[in-house]
Amino acid sequence: MSSPLSNGPSLSERNLSEHSLSGAVATWACVRPDAIAVQCADDAVTWSELDDTMNRFAAQLRTRGVGVGDRVVLIGENSLEWVVAFLACQRARAVVVPMNTRLGVSQIEQQIRAVEAKLVVCESRASVPHAEGVECVELRAMVTSARHGSRPEEDIGESEVADDAPALISFTSGTTGTPKGAVVSGSALAAYAREFASFFGTGPDDSTLVIVPIFHNTGFADQLAHMIAAGATTRLLRRYRTDDAAHELIARPVTFLAAVPSMLRMLMLHNDADAIFAGIRTVMYGGSAIPEAWVHELRRRWPDLALVHAYGLSEFTSVCTVLPSELVSTAAESAGRPLPGVALRVVREGRDVEPGESGEVWVCGPTRMLGYWNQPELTAAKFDGSWLRTGDVGHVDADGLLWLHGRVDDVINRGGEKIMPAFVESHIARHPAVAAVCVFGYPDEILRERVAAAIEPRDGAVVDTDEIRESMRDVVPDYAIPDRWIIHDSLPLTASGKVDRRALRADYLRRSQ
């Protein structure tokens, strides 16, 4: 990617930008006032306009009684207005809570109450449940007023805040189980953005298109924050549809794209795939590894495209390890090595294991969350000193590469044999008829659990499960080969675009009754 501009910000401006994304916007408003900062379709704002609009929006928050540290719930699809509100909350030193728009009404209400929200900012008040004592305002009206209003009487501006001051609460579980709000400091988010921009060599001439939901950390951290740190342009796709993404990428090419494997595969299969990928220099993918066959296809069709596999979690702001492009062809399913500033261990029964041995992955670094909101017991269980227990099982090989086998709670116990779904999925995904696959355990009276595989076929393909089963016999233990095969037109996805393993298992159990 391009190198940063030579006429960089002054020392005082750098100090501000190092503490928050809000400070970074103020810096670029001085350095590159007329450059495009954010764009959604034909609507765009420059850095100067974004900075001014954030000030006015932050003043509106103060007028509505939002003080330092108060929680503001933000509900909306990808939009310029969402970005303004997200950043203005940090300008006002409030705590922004990006909400998963795919949650049910009762789940949204539960999370609003869980964070004791002072204000809810949403696209439509009709879609938000009433929460006693919590004001709800429409996002577009606030941003329109902020963009075209007069200068606020109170100058919000930038000021020094404590490094551990909360700036963001990112919920890590909103579809099942107890919602857990990972509290991230403004300095952690800014540090993450700077490190990402440095790692990718991102500069002001670069750009990205956010095709994932922006409320997810792939959207607001890996792309928006990353581009803000570099003074680059963030473009937004309101919601993902393959044809819409293709049209936008062809009409307004970008240099950096982040996607989950399923989105990447749909773009690869699009009729205009060559035009889609023509301007992209780097594709970062996460959520899961992509099959080796897809990597080879990408390499063959677009040899100059840099592919980077990223692994991360909300409790660490986002990405903690990356597999560099030069290793993707030979170690496609590895999660790579820690980012600079991140330390990693693999632990089993309280001790670090030897290279090649499996255990739980622990990480440590400046972007670790402060803790779960109002859940000290869960926080204590997740922390060990400065370390974060990820809940993921994996091993580090002799070359220092991390290989993930699945979640601790995803492990299938078939008659005492432990099976990692990701291992089985990686072999099934190699079959040319398979577009996506998810492996899960289902109850068995004798063995405790058996193995099931749900498959989404490629367009026009017919899945022959006997053929797949036979292809696995020499590479997968016999006890790990699925007993049940279910074909779906499309596999359900979580809000972050990952295949929803829990939903598939629940659906299978319901149908089996």
Average pLDDT value for residue range 202-208: 97
Model confidence at 140: pLDDT above 50? yes
Separation between Cα atoms, residue 211 and residue 205, nearest integer Å: 20
The CATH number covering residue 504 comes to 3.30.300.30
Do both 138 and 280 map to the same domain?
A: no
Which of the listed residues 183, 218, 253 is the one where a domain comes to its end?
183
Domain around 383: 240-407
SS3 of 260-304: the string is CHHHHHHHHCCCCHHHHHCCCCEEEECCCCCCHHHHHHHHHHCCC
Chain position carrying tokens 């659906």: 507
- Provide the token pair at 197: 């921009």
User: Cα angle at 122 between 120 and 127, to 5 degrees?
Assistant: 105
Domain contains 433: yes
Weakest mean pLDDT among 20-29, 383-392, 409-418:
409-418
Q: Are strands 135-138 and 119-122 parallel, antiparallel or unpaired?
A: parallel
Chain position carrying tokens 């930008």: 17
Average pLDDT value for residue range 130-142: 89
Weakest mean pLDDT among 22-36, 106-120, 209-223:
106-120
Weakest mean pLDDT among 98-102, 218-222, 354-358, 496-500:
496-500
Do both 254 and 398 map to the same domain?
A: yes
371 beta partners? 183
E strand or H helix that includes residue 374: none
- The predicted pLDDT at position 105 comes to 80
Separation between Cα atoms, residue 481 and residue 430, nearest integer Å: 14
Q: Are 510 and 504 within 8 A, CB to CB? A: no
- Provide the token pair at 187: 């300095």
- The predicted pLDDT at position 153 comes to 59
Q: At what angle do helices 11-19 and 186-200 cross, to 10 degrees?
A: 110
The CATH number covering residue 301 comes to 3.40.50.12780
The CATH number covering residue 131 comes to 3.40.50.980
- Provide the token pair at 53: 């609009």
Helix, coil or strand: residue 167: strand
Separation between Cα atoms, residue 453 and residue 371, nearest integer Å: 35
Do both 456 and 349 map to the same domain?
A: no
Domain contains 360: yes
pTM over 0.75: yes
Domain contains 230: no
- The predicted pLDDT at position 28 comes to 97
Burial grade of 178 (CB within 10 A; 0-12, 13-18, 19 or more):
exposed
Do both 402 and 424 map to the same domain?
A: no
Straight-line distance from the first to the last Cα atom of the chain, in angstroms, rounded to the nearest whole number: 54
Model confidence at 428: pLDDT above 90? yes
Domain contains 178: yes
Question: What is the percent of the chain where pLDDT is above 90?
Answer: 73
Half-sphere exposure of 428 (CA within 13 A, CB side): 28
- The predicted pLDDT at position 2 comes to 38
Q: Are 48 and 27 within 8 A, CB to CB? A: no
Question: What is the percent of the chain where pLDDT is above 70?
Answer: 91
Model confidence at 416: pLDDT above 90? no
Half-sphere exposure of 132 (CA within 13 A, CB side): 0
Q: Are 390 and 363 within 8 A, CB to CB? A: yes
Amino acid at 425: E
Do both 329 and 360 map to the same domain?
A: yes
Average pLDDT value for residue range 131-140: 89
Do both 24 and 133 map to the same domain?
A: yes
Separation between Cα atoms, residue 374 and residue 371, nearest integer Å: 9
Going from the C-alpha of 264 to that of each of 83, 217, 241, 268, 511, the distances in angstroms are 24, 18, 12, 6, 31
What confidence tier does 415 reach under pLDDT thresholds 50, 70, 90? confident
Query: How does pLDDT run across 300-353, given as a tens digit for each residue?
Result: 999 999 999 999 999 999 999 999 999 998 998 899 999 999 999 999 999 999
Helix, coil or strand: residue 229: helix
Query: How does pLDDT run across 447-470, given as a tens digit for each residue?
Result: 889 999 999 999 899 999 999 999
Do both 118 and 101 map to the same domain?
A: yes
Half-sphere exposure of 145 (CA within 13 A, CB side): 14
Model confidence at 173: pLDDT above 60? no
Do both 266 and 173 map to the same domain?
A: no
Which of the listed residues 407, 427, 456 is the one where a domain comes to its end?
407
Do both 345 and 383 map to the same domain?
A: yes
Average pLDDT value for residue range 67-82: 97
Domain contains 137: yes
Domain contains 233: no
- Provide the token pair at 105: 């009404």
Do both 311 and 450 map to the same domain?
A: no
Do both 245 and 388 map to the same domain?
A: yes
Which of the listed residues 407, 422, 442 is the one where a domain comes to its end?
407
Report the number of distinct structural domains present in the chain.
Answer: 3
Domain contains 145: yes
Separation between Cα atoms, residue 207 and residue 37, nearest integer Å: 9
Do both 300 and 389 map to the same domain?
A: yes
Model confidence at 262: pLDDT above 90? no
Domain contains 201: no
Helices (H), ranges, 365-464: 376-382, 421-428
Residue 442 φ then ψ, to 5°: -130, 150
Model confidence at 1: pLDDT above 80? no
